[in-house]
Amino acid sequence: MHGNPMPDSYVYVTEEGVTRHYADGSVEALAWEDVVEVRVVTEDGADVLYILLDRDGEGCVVPRSATDATFLARLRYLPDFDLERFVVAAESAHDGVVVVWRSPDPPSTLPDLEYD
C-alpha cells in the first residue's frame, strides 16, 4: 500500500495548551497558563526541539517539524516573549539548549533534562 508513513508523533496547539501524541499512545500536554519556561534544543542533523515546562519541570516536547504559525503565534502571548530570540536560538548552528523565555515569576529551579 502506498501513502505517507505514520508520523512518530503529532502536536495539537489550542488556546488552552499544547498536546503531543506519540505513536506508542503516550501523551504529553501542558496548559499555556502553566508554562514557566521555554527552551530550544538544537543538535546537528536532528530536528530542533521546543521544550515547554511547568513549575515541576514537567512539560511538552514539541519538534519544530510539528509546528506551524499557530504555535508561534500562541508563544507570543507569553509575557514579554521575545520571538526574535526564539528564532535565533532555533536557527543556531551550535548544539545545545537555550532558555529563550522564563515566566516573570518562575520557580527557584527547574531540572536539567535529557533529550533523545
Cβ(62)–Cβ(18) below 8 Å:
yes
Provide CB contacts within 8 A for 10, sequence distance 6+: 20, 21, 66
**pLDDT, average across residues 58-79:** 92
Using alpha carbons only, what angle is made at residue 52 by residues 72 and 39, rounded to the nearest 5 degrees?
85
pLDDT value at residue 1: 44
Please state the rounded mean pLDDT for residues 53-65.
93
Instruction: Quote the pTM value.
Output: 0.83
pLDDT above 90 covers a percentage of the chain that reads: 66
Q: Which residues, other chains included, contact 83 with Cβ-Cβ below 8 Å and sequence gap of 6+?
A: 72, 75, 76
Interval 22-32 mean pLDDT: 94
Q: How many CB atoms lie within 10 A of CB 63?
A: 18
The residue type of 51 is: I
* 70-107 tens-digit pLDDT: 999 999 999 999 999 999 999 987 889 999 999 987 65
